[in-house]
Amino acid sequence: MAASSPVTKFESNPPESRTFARQHELPKLPIPSLEDSCRRYLTSLEGLQDHKEHSETRRAVEDFLKGEGPMMQERLKTYAQDKASYIEEFWYESYLSHSDPVVLALNPFFVLENDPTPDRGSQLPRAASLIVSSLGFIHDLRAGMLEPDAVRGIPLDMDQYTRLFGTARTPTEVSSLNSVVPVRSMVQARMSMHRARRDVGRADLRALGLVLGFLPTSTQHNTGAHPFLDILNILFEQRGCKMDVHPDSRHVVILRRGQFYWFDVLDMDNRPVLTEREILRNLQAIISDADQLPVHEVARNSIGVLSTENRKVWSSLRKALSSNKNNESCLEVIDNALFVVCLDDTSPENLAELCDNFLCGTYNLKGGVQVGTCTNRWYDKLQIIVCADGSAGINFEHTGVDGHTVLRFAADIFTEGLMLLARSINPSAPTLFHAPLSPHAKMHKAPARGGTATPTPLYVIDTAPKKLEWALYPELRAGIRFAETRLSDLICQNDCQALEFKGYGKNFITSHGFSPDAFVQMAFQAAYYGLYEFIVDRSYRMHLRAGDDEVVLAWKNGGYTDRAAAQRRVCQGTYPLRHATYPANSSTSDIFSSPQTFFSEAAPAQKVAALRKACQGHVKLTKDCSRALGQDRHLYALYCLMQRDREREALTNGRSADSGDELDGRPLSPSSSLSSGSAYYNRPPLPAIFTDPGWSTLNTSILSTSNCGNPALRLFGFGPVAADGYGIGYIIKDEGISVCASSRHLQTRRFLDTLKGYLIDVQRILIQLHLSANQRPEPFVDHAGVLRDSKTGRPINGRGTEKTYDDEDMMPGYSFFDSGDVELLGRRKRMPSYYNTGKIIPLAEY
């Protein structure tokens, strides 16, 4: 009996879907061999531990290979037989069991380039345009008309797109299995009483759970062969958060000054029911209404800040909010919406404020009242954010989708804006999407004479904007107040800065034979060392979404790098790899990955050679990860299976051997609170490989970096994942590099300044070496006294004899004073009298 997935799946793909037509071609994510994963694990730790620590880790790995490891490997293979990806549920659970606020901790952001259309340079036209383009994307996705992703003809997994719209992350009532501990003995006693009775029903056992107080009355679940395990599965499902997808969603929610509004935008066939002009009119009405509310009332009614709370607190407040039927309906409107559009009432004044606004909102107090944009958000859904000056971006809930899925969406809606501009100039120009205006739309043209009349819809389409009114009593108002103050604390603790480096980009890097991503990764490493004199080893955590060559990276504590590469060549592939290409205690004279080489007195050629060697290792690791040859998720899956076994024993301790059937509930994450309380049950300890300090070292990120670039994006970023670390999003453009870095109480601006200095220094060294290797030979004077170039043999200036031309050098020329020489006719060239005036200077190569 398998538990339901932690993330609702959208199964109703069109039967002749072009979008999902090649899903069946995707292979399953392979499970690496246990020996290879353990070998890679040891290699990744080699440079992060001293000899004694590494010896202990090696001993723990050897014990695992001789002990429980092979058995758990077989368990994992059995578990994965009916799953497209053996890691997917574990990975989702690690996100959904996260109890900290999602803002700054989980949700990334994109900043789009400005819209080139003059009419869309202000807020509301830009917002209306983005909504229309988004509806076109949704129509094509749901109709199966969206072109599938592919790399060099290889199909990529499109499964994540089904979780992009109409999706909501909601906190559940029980966020820890510790709340079940007091009733464990009661369950056992009641079960032993009923064990002899073969006629006991599942409903009876579920009622038992209700009586004991650990099952909500509304709980629905799939019953299996073992009722007791059904109850345990429900317990597993009621922890942390859950993700729900609403595939029939057809409305949007608009946020302005913390106030919620909504209106329908699609019919039942996913065709838009509003034109861009009509959407603009709705947005104008919303702005007019929301801006009438006094500042102090805005702060008291900003329900959205509750989504920034600790998930346990948010769960409790959401339950209190839902106790009122009207509030429950309002929450349903938000949860079911396609996405949320946040219309901010301020404009960022600089890059840092721009990044802050899209990451966590801005902090601004007036008379002690929060008036910043931080109260104008709902972080449990996909958000399109538009500032007062028209700058726009996306903040997205990260559980069901990764950055490259949202990147495709962002790039497509930006491109559609460009194509609509072209169409306004040339009506025959194509558009990216194929969403016809709904026949139920007011602006739909009536059919021609003899055509079929539009049938009356069997459902209500309400395109008028409506404001959500909340019933807020003291408990909820206090919750809003303290949620805002805690969010304000988080914002004040976080420093987000940006660098738009325009010295060079992808073109310059590739012209010198480097992988752009590897080159920039080495820059982060060197900048960190230049600021802290600390070596960050090149180890990776490759997040594989089947096929993309772009990568997402994170640097780990103790000199560890966490590297994620999107690989979507496999079905539902989420596969990270951690690997160190060299030990930090090795010689640094020729290994650039220890930044000491760059900051030492080594010759420029040595620095570049070490950089090239490190980049080549980086590229090799990326290719390995694209083939799922990594150890990180493999070992994590084994860890989760073992945790599940021990948690089952903790809940069923005392049951007879014949009732110990396998529990297929979702596993807990390494941060599970039950895991920390395992001593109460005297359960067997985890293998030493998972309790060894090396395991913790590889699970604490110092630098978390991600490359998610596209010409449609200006900036991309996210919050730090460790209190003493940086979160770095970067975009490598043809002629520049955009970097957004965030940290808590660290020198973020100084880190970016150090990075900029490094990039300039490397450019100088590369140009210097290139020029010295390609320097022209010294000119020479021939026997006639003409100064000539040593390569071409041509005169360098006009001194000496006058330049002569061979017949073959002459271009056709005709003049009134032509010599009349027929053979030279058409081949002689008259030179202006000033041709030899001045000195020829060499052209700069850069």
Where is average pLDDT lowest: 104-118, 144-158, 225-239? 225-239
Does the structural domain 502-578+580-629+698-773 have CATH classification 1.10.10.1400? Answer: no
Residue of 139, 251, 398, 634 marked active site: 398
β-pair partners for 739: 499, 730
Where is average pLDDT lowest: 156-165, 193-202, 739-748? 193-202
Q: 809: which residues sit within 8 A by CB, 6+ positions away?
A: 829
Where is average pLDDT lowest: 195-199, 293-297, 518-522, 540-544? 540-544
- Residue 51 above 80 pLDDT? yes
Q: Average pLDDT, stretch 71-75?
A: 96
Torsional sign, CA 161, 164, 167, 169: positive
Give the Cα separation of 588 and 255 in Å (integer).
54
DSSP conformational letter for 10: -
- Residue 232 is predicted with a pLDDT of 40
Per-residue pLDDT reduced to its tens digit, 420-455? 888 888 988 898 999 999 998 888 776 666 556 666
Give the Cα separation of 727 and 716 in Å (integer).
11
- Residue 630 above 80 pLDDT? no
Give the Cα separation of 381 and 301 in Å (integer).
19
Structure tokens, 706? 């991600």
Do 328 and 369 meet the contact criterion of CB atoms below 8 Å apart?
no
Looking at every residue in the chain, the average pLDDT score rounds to 79
Q: Average pLDDT, stretch 516-541?
A: 79
Q: 673: which residues sit within 8 A by CB, 6+ positions away?
A: 176, 177, 178
Q: Where in the chain is the domain with CATH 3.30.559.70?
A: 109-168+245-445+456-491
Give the Cα separation of 655 and 258 in Å (integer).
52
Give the Cα separation of 109 and 706 in Å (integer).
12
- Residue 692 above 70 pLDDT? yes
- Residue 368 is predicted with a pLDDT of 93
Could you tell me which of 567, 563, 564, 574 has the C-alpha nearest to residue 540?
Answer: 563
- Residue 581 above 90 pLDDT? no
Q: Average pLDDT, stretch 93-110?
A: 90
Where is average pLDDT lowest: 279-283, 311-315, 802-806? 802-806
Start-to-end CA distance of the chain, whole Å, equals 66
Q: Average pLDDT, stretch 568-591?
A: 42
Q: Where in the chain is the domain with CATH 3.30.559.10?
A: 502-578+580-629+698-773
Class of the domain covering 109-168+245-445+456-491: alpha beta
Q: How far is CA 492 from the centre of its chain?
A: 24
- Residue 509 is predicted with a pLDDT of 97
Q: How far is CA 844 from the centre of its chain?
A: 40
- Residue 554 is predicted with a pLDDT of 32
Give the Cα separation of 87 and 636 in Å (integer).
8
Structure tokens, 633? 């998720």
440 is catalytic: no
Q: Average pLDDT, stretch 129-144?
A: 97
- Residue 816 above 90 pLDDT? no
Q: Count of CB atoms within 10 A of residue 434's CB?
A: 12
- Residue 155 is predicted with a pLDDT of 86
Per-residue pLDDT reduced to its tens digit, 584-614? 344 333 334 557 788 888 999 999 999 998 8
Residue count of the chain, please give it.
846
Per-residue pLDDT reduced to its tens digit, 269-284? 999 999 999 999 999 9
- Residue 717 above 80 pLDDT? yes
- Residue 665 is predicted with a pLDDT of 41
Give the Cα separation of 359 and 355 in Å (integer).
6
Do 163 and 401 meet the contact criterion of CB atoms below 8 Å apart?
yes
Max Cα-Cα span within the chain:
123
Per-residue pLDDT reduced to its tens digit, 171-215? 987 544 443 333 344 334 434 444 433 444 444 444 434 433 444
Higher per-residue confidence, 537 vs 35: 35
Give the Cα separation of 811 and 830 in Å (integer).
9
